[in-house]
């Protein structure tokens, strides 16, 4: 053979064949998966169809719950779970087709190994989910091969998927449809308060969804004008109580609500109260970086209806298109998502902002996006007295004239008054000579706490939720939001 006969192309082909021969002739370290699958289906598995279904990574627990439910449902179903021992499995676009065809070019045969699991932390338990594994199922005599394949390292594959091999096309298709139905019916997120956070992706897909346990907020703790609170209740849980009647009448059930006002006026507290009144409704909390996941948030809201999506500080993505540094892409996505939702789905979208004057007008001007906008203003003197009593619970207010301090805190938000009582109680605790019994808070403690809160000047007061009359209007915007509440607090 001359040098000319050994061209690079011929050499490469010969070398590749040499590597393949080595792999084929090397004894497998364990039972070959292809042989197990061929035996299970009773023939050449490569001749049968394979159905592939992909799911978002946050649906991994739902897939596992659905598979477990399917396998435990009928006594006629038998199954065996085996692992995949191959260090290339996370790089492949498909797995079953490669296994049953004897492995890829230059790859050793796939052999049985340990099942790979990943653990998800759910609301009430930890759930171990199959990350890489193959179920050999026999349902009433019909063989099924179901491979669970986790997110891949290449090709940007960030989804969990199943590959289903069946001797009958109809049986494979029916299995995939059955699993999807079970995933929806047994969804582990239904009825919980959850959030999606891309900032947790570096901790693994199992940390993408966080469950939240919120404190119960009694109605009496929401210090708002009675008429205003009633309108908010009517637009949310009272509306939901009549959802079936409204749906039968052809009325749209999706609705949006904007709560706006100075910092500390109770927007978040009001939402926590509403969540407590709607037991069983799935709530998705979205703020900050989570707003970059609007698409999966809306997808989950639709599939988990009745649901409520809370978009806090919506001005972060819904600023005027012409303003510097506005997040136009997320704004357009939000508007498209709101417009594209089905009318018969019981979905509530609650938006909050401290800066309504810069919101994109299109967000609030069109019914179906936001159809109720409510201003939560600073409390009047009567409300401030209630707040002083509320946040003074558990303390002994000694020689404290609540009427006097209600006047002195004119312009204070509920958050400011809560902080005022906290600081006063700290001062009282430091001065207390005995460590048990009720904590005695005096007028002097409250006065000193007010002085400390005022030391930072106007900026500090505004940060803590205090607006003096000399500071000017908080929101110099023209009336025009649909359903807006513009009336001031009643004069006591």
Q: What is the distance of C-alpha 255 from the center of its chain?
A: 19
Task: Please name which of 312, 318, 266 lies closest in space to residue 288, comparing C-alpha atoms.
Answer: 312
Q: Please identify every stretch of the chain with a pLDDT value under 70, giving residue numbers as ranges.
A: 1-6, 11-31, 88, 90-93, 103-108, 152-157, 198-207, 288-292, 318-332, 360, 362-368, 433-437, 456-464, 468-492
Number of structural domains (the chain) is 3
Note whether residue 53 is domain-resident: yes
Summarised one tens digit per residue, pLDDT across range 455-480 is 866 666 666 677 765 555 554 444 33
Note whether residue 448 is domain-resident: yes
Question: Which secondary structure element, helix H or strand E, spans residue 258, and what is its range?
Answer: strand 255-260
**What is the rounded distance in angstroms from the CA atom of residue 145 to the CA atom of residue 96?**
9
Q: What is the distance of C-alpha 355 from the center of its chain?
A: 24
Token output for 335: 């508007």
Task: Please name which of 51, 65, 68, 64 lies closest in space to residue 163, comparing C-alpha atoms.
Answer: 51
Task: Name residue 256's beta-bridge partners.
Answer: 349
Task: Please name which of 324, 322, 325 lies closest in space to residue 362, comparing C-alpha atoms.
Answer: 322
Answer for the pair 86, 102: CB distance below 8 angstroms, yes or no. no
**What is the rounded distance in angstroms from the CA atom of residue 439 to the CA atom of residue 441?**
6
Note whether residue 124 is domain-resident: yes
pLDDT, residue 106, reads 58
Q: Are residues 389 and 370 in the same domain?
A: no
Token output for 319: 């600023």
Summarised one tens digit per residue, pLDDT across range 34-54 is 999 999 999 999 999 999 999
**What is the rounded distance in angstroms from the CA atom of residue 60 to the CA atom of residue 465?**
43
Task: Please name which of 46, 77, 321, 283 lies closest in space to residue 178, comparing C-alpha atoms.
Answer: 77
pLDDT, residue 290, reads 62
- For CA atoms 275, 278, 280, 285, the dihedral sign is negative
Q: Are residues 159 and 207 in the same domain?
A: no
**What is the rounded distance in angstroms from the CA atom of residue 189 to the CA atom of residue 307?**
11
Domain boundary among 345, 375, 405: 375
Q: Are residues 391 and 421 in the same domain?
A: yes
Q: Are residues 395 and 361 in the same domain?
A: no
Note whether residue 19 is domain-resident: no
Task: Name residue 441's beta-bridge partners.
Answer: 397
Q: Are residues 98 and 214 in the same domain?
A: no
Note whether residue 153 is domain-resident: yes
pTM of the predicted protein model: 0.82
pLDDT, residue 360, reads 65
> If you search the block for the tokens 């998800």, which residue do you land on?
120
Note whether residue 95 is domain-resident: yes
**What is the rounded distance in angstroms from the CA atom of residue 74 to the CA atom of residue 138?**
11
The end-to-end CA distance of the chain, in Å, is: 107
For 169, the domain range is 26-185
pLDDT, residue 8, reads 72
Task: Please name which of 95, 175, 80, 97 lies closest in space to residue 136, comparing C-alpha atoms.
Answer: 80
Q: Are residues 170 and 45 in the same domain?
A: yes
Note whether residue 472 is domain-resident: no
**What is the rounded distance in angstroms from the CA atom of residue 377 to the CA atom of residue 64?**
48
**What is the rounded distance in angstroms from the CA atom of residue 66 to the CA atom of residue 188?**
10
Q: Are residues 87 and 134 in the same domain?
A: yes
pLDDT, residue 485, reads 36
**What is the rounded distance in angstroms from the CA atom of residue 356 to the CA atom of residue 231?**
19
Note whether residue 408 is domain-resident: yes
Local structure of 424: helix, strand or coil: helix
């Amino acid at each position: 053979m001359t040098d000319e006969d050994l061209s690079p192309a011929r050499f490469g082909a010969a070398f590749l064949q040499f590597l393949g021969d080595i792999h084929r002739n090397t004894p497998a370290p364990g039972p070959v998966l292809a042989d197990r699958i061929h035996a299970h289906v009773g023939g050449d598995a490569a001749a049968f169809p394979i159905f592939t279904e992909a799911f978002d990574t946050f649906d991994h627990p739902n897939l596992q719950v659905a598979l477990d439910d399917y396998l435990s449902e009928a006594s006629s179903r038998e199954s065996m779970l085996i692992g995949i021992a191959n260090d290339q499995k996370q790089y492949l676009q498909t797995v079953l087709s490669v296994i049953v065809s004897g492995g890829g070019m230059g790859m050793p045969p796939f052999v049985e190994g340990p099942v790979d699991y990943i653990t998800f932390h759910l609301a009430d338990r930890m759930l171990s989910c199959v990350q890489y594994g193959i179920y050999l199922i026999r349902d009433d005599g019909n063989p099924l091969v179901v491979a669970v394949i986790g997110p891949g390292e290449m090709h940007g594959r960030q989804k969990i998927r199943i590959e289903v091999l069946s001797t009958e096309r109809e049986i494979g298709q029916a299995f995939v449809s059955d699993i999807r139905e079970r995933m929806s019916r047994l969804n582990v997120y239904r009825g919980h308060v959850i959030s999606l956070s891309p900032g947790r992706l570096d901790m693994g897909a199992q940390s993408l969804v966080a469950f939240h346990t919120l404190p119960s907020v009694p109605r009496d703790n929401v210090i708002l004008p009675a008429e205003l609170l009633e309108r908010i209740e009517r637009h949310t849980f009272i509306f939901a109580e009549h959802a079936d009647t409204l749906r039968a009448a052809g009325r749209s059930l999706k609705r949006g609500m904007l709560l706006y006002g100075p910092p500390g006026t109770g927007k978040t507290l009001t939402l926590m109260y509403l969540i407590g009144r709607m037991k069983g409704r799935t709530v998705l909390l979205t703020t900050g970086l989570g707003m970059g996941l609007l698409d999966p948030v809306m997808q989950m809201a639709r599939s988990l209806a009745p649901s409520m999506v809370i978009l806090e500080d919506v001005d972060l993505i819904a600023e005027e298109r012409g303003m510097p540094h506005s997040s136009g892409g997320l704004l357009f996505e939000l508007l498209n998502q709101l417009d594209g939702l089905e009318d018969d789905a019981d979905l509530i979208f609650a938006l909050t902002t401290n800066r309504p004057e810069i919101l994109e007008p299109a967000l609030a001007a069109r019914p179906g996006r936001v159809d109720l906008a409510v201003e939560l203003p600073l409390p009047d003197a009567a409300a401030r007295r209630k707040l002083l009593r509320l946040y003074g619970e558990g303390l002994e207010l000694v020689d404290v004239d609540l009427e006097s301090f209600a006047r002195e805190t004119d312009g204070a938000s509920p958050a400011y008054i809560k902080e005022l009582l906290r600081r006063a109680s700290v001062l009282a605790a430091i001065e207390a000579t005995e460590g048990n019994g009720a904590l005695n808070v005096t007028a002097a403690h409250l006065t000193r706490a007010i002085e400390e809160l005022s030391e930072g000047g106007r900026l500090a007061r505004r940060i803590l939720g205090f607006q003096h009359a000399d500071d000017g209007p908080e929101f110099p915007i023209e009336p025009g939001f649909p359903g807006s509440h513009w009336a001031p607090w009643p004069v006591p």
